[in-house]
Amino acid sequence: MSATILDGKATRDAIYDDLRSRVAVLAEAGVRPGLGTVLVGEDPGSAAYVRGKHRDCAKVGITSLRRDLPADATQEQVATAIDELNADPSCHGYIVQLPLPQGLDTGALLERMDPAKDADGLHPVNLGRLVLGETGPLPCTPRGIVELLRRYDVPLAGAKVVVIGRGVTVGRPLGLLLTRRSENATVTLCHTGTKDLAAEVRRADIVVAAAGKPGLITADMLTPGAAVLDVGITRTEDGLVGDVALQAREIAGFVAPMPGGVGPMTRAMLLTNVVEAAERAVRSA
Ligand SMILES: NC(=O)C1=CN([C@@H]2O[C@H](COP(=O)(O)OP(=O)(O)OC[C@H]3O[C@@H](n4cnc5c(N)ncnc54)[C@H](OP(=O)(O)O)[C@@H]3O)[C@@H](O)[C@H]2O)C=CC1
Ligand SMILES: Nc1nc(=O)c2c([nH]1)NC[C@@H]1CN(c3ccc(C(=O)N[C@@H](CCC(=O)O)C(=O)O)cc3)C=[N+]21
Ligand SMILES: [Mg+2]
């Protein structure tokens, strides 16, 4: 038995079809959504992600606003780029590509963003809204994971979900999202202090691996039929590798592979957050 693939590319394409028609409605109201990116330095991985986001914007009809700064940019220079995007009415949402180079105060820069333009959902105000159950932009990777499971009818209500990783972009906000009443999953967040990872994973109906450790999840850890989502990405000499060993796919009932699973959904949710921000701007005009 081999697993049903949770196909992030096909799902992204369906989402982009929907976004294109919403962009057309916005155009009738005289608004073209704009996504900004702030990229500091020349890390090839970060540069590739930012290129991918702008390529997707072009497919959907979203204007791209790039702010590329040198690796030695000062705190003030990055702050100025943020202030400009906050003030620019053609920018409905933007992201500060993480991680920032050493020496920059990431927290201060994220807090400087206008929470209404936070396309990543990572501003402290928006993370606070998520905790409080108030509406706001949702973090892209967690939202993409929930959307992927929903579209493949993988049941979440009452499901036992084990998340490996408590990072602020994936694991921590995913726990918050999945434990809302609308999802109603029971979540365990694992990390390097977890005593027996294999025992935790074995209990799971759904496993989300977001540690960034190649091959961390092996076939023997899984209950047959479990859904396994490979989120982790590690750059090696042989290319990008995920956290889930290939043999685990034979045991699983559903697999979101890396590549082709959660990554494309992350980008689709980023663009969705921007279109939603533009729709709010039109409604409040
Ligand atoms: N596909 C996609 O769309 C995206 C993929 N990613 C990828 O997801 C991964 C996680 O990202 P992010 O949250 O930002 O990363 P962080 O580095 O912030 O978090 C990694 C987490 O994994 C935990 N961890 C590391 N090793 C182990 C281990 N052996 N056993 C158990 N837990 C472990 C860490 O535990 P501790 O807290 O104890 O250190 C930490 O909580 C990365 O590989 C990143 O590249 C990120 C964003 C989007
Ligand atoms: N402020 C901020 N927001 C982020 O959302 C953010 C970030 N910083 N820093 C880095 C991580 C990583 N991330 C990915 C996005 C898309 C893919 C993606 O599209 N992956 C493809 C493969 C891409 C390839 O082959 O290079 C896939 O999995 O199929 C992966 C990873 C967003 N991140
Ligand atoms: Mg992926």
> Of all protein residues, whose CA lies closest to atom 30 belonging to ligand 1?
192
- Residue 153 confidence (pLDDT): 98
172 is in an annotated binding site: no
- Residue 73 confidence (pLDDT): 98
Find all residues with CB under 8 Å of 246, minimum gap 6, and list them: none
97 is catalytic: yes
- Residue 1 confidence (pLDDT): 67
pLDDT tens across 25-59, in order?
Answer: 999 999 999 999 999 999 999 999 999 999 999 99
pLDDT (average), residues 148-163: 98
| C-alpha to C-alpha distance for 119 and 261, rounded to whole angstroms | 20
Whether pLDDT at 239 is above 70: yes
pLDDT tens across 220-230, in order?
Answer: 999 999 999 99
| C-alpha to C-alpha distance for 63 and 97, rounded to whole angstroms | 18
Quick one: DSSP state of residue 115? G
Distance of CA 251 to the CA centre of its chain: 26
| C-alpha to C-alpha distance for 18 and 178, rounded to whole angstroms | 24
ipTM: 0.97
Task: Report how far ligand 3's centroid is from the alpha carbon of 53 (Å).
Answer: 14
Q: Which of 120, 205, 230, 243 is catalytic?
A: 120
- Residue 285 confidence (pLDDT): 81
**Position in ligand 2 atom list of the atom nearest CA 267:** 16
Distance of CA 35 to the CA centre of its chain: 15
Q: Which ligand is nearest to the CA of 261?
A: 3
Q: Which of 7, 53, 56, 243 is catalytic?
A: 53
Residue 263 CB: number of other CB atoms within 10 A? Answer: 24
Report the percent of the chain where pLDDT is more than 70. Answer: 100
- Residue 52 confidence (pLDDT): 96
Residue 120 Cβ < 6 Å to ligand 2: yes
Task: Report how far ligand 1's centroid is from the alpha carbon of 99 (Å).
Answer: 13
Task: Report how far ligand 1's centroid is from the alpha carbon of 25 (Å).
Answer: 38
Element containing residue 280 per DSSP (H, E): helix 262-283
> Of all protein residues, whose CA lies closest to atom 17 belonging to ligand 2?
263
pLDDT (average), residues 74-87: 98
- Residue 179 confidence (pLDDT): 97
> Of all protein residues, whose CA lies closest to atom 1 belonging to ligand 2?
97
Residue 137 Cβ < 6 Å to ligand 2: no
**Burial per residue of 187-197, b for 16 or more beta-carbon CB atoms within 10 angstroms, e otherwise:** bebbeeebeeb
pLDDT tens across 85-123, in order?
Answer: 999 999 999 999 999 999 999 999 999 999 999 999 999
| 259 neighbors 7 (Cβ within 8 angstroms) | no
β-pairing, 227-230 vs 93-96, is unpaired
Q: Which ligand is nearest to the CA of 39?
A: 2
Task: Report how far ligand 3's centroid is from the alpha carbon of 259 (Å).
Answer: 5
- Residue 2 confidence (pLDDT): 83
Residue 140 Cβ < 6 Å to ligand 2: yes
The maximal CA–CA distance of the chain, rounded, in angstroms, is 56
| C-alpha to C-alpha distance for 208 and 192, rounded to whole angstroms | 15
| C-alpha to C-alpha distance for 148 and 134, rounded to whole angstroms | 22
pLDDT (average), residues 178-194: 98
Q: Which of 7, 56, 97, 205 is catalytic?
A: 97
**Position in ligand 1 atom list of the atom nearest CA 98:** 14
| Both tokens assigned to 82 | 């943020």
| C-alpha to C-alpha distance for 204 and 2, rounded to whole angstroms | 18
Residue 281 CB: number of other CB atoms within 10 A? Answer: 17
Average pLDDT score, the chain: 97
pTM of the model: 0.97
Please give the backbone phi and psi of residue 185, each rounded to the nearest 5 degrees, phi first: -85, 160
Report the percent of the chain where pLDDT is more than 90. Answer: 98
